[in-house]
Amino acid sequence: MSRFTRPEFAWPAAVVSLLLLGVGLTLGVLYFSRFDGGPRIVDDYYRRGVAWDSLATVAGRIERLGWTVDVDVSPRPDAEGRSFVRAVVRDSTGIGVEGLGLTVSAFRPTDTQPAATAVAADSTGGLYVAGVELPVAGLWDFEVAGTALGEPFLVRVRRDIAR
């Protein structure tokens, strides 16, 4: 019988191996959780928490009007590195709403500040197009902000951008 297969050596070696495996996996999880910068603390989180009711009112205004906002992102950037965010705003009858003056902001889900913000150009039929620079593929949150009937509104959508 080999020295390494004897029970008085094999059992302690198995226990130590499992403990080292657990420590290694824990360190790996910690490393990869911080790989992209990790979660971030929201700037002025207290003010945002206090203002939650007014933000929810602004965010729900489009739904109360019966309007819809469909957001689509071009899968490939153009030669200048911009992806195009298209927002189509329709009223309760399905007719496109023009002249809203929309602003589009792009966020990574873990970021507290937008990576890119652009004013959307108004087109016919309620189509608005904004060119934003998205440096990497992956999950992106888009905020479409504007004014409808003299009242501000905000729509948030999450899209997976593949390149």
Give the full edge-to-edge strand order of the sheet including 116-119: 116-119, 103-107, 138-148, 151-161
Query: Residue 55 contacts by C-beta under 8 Å, 6 or more apart in sequence?
Result: 48, 154
DSSP string, 26-73: HHHHHHHHSTT----PPTTHHHHHHTHHHHHHHHHHHHHHT-EEEEEE
User: pLDDT tens across 109-135, in order?
Assistant: 878 788 888 888 877 788 888 888 888
pLDDT at position 38, please?
A: 62
Predicted TM-score of the model (pTM)? 0.68
Question: What is the rounded average pLDDT for all residues in the chain?
Answer: 83
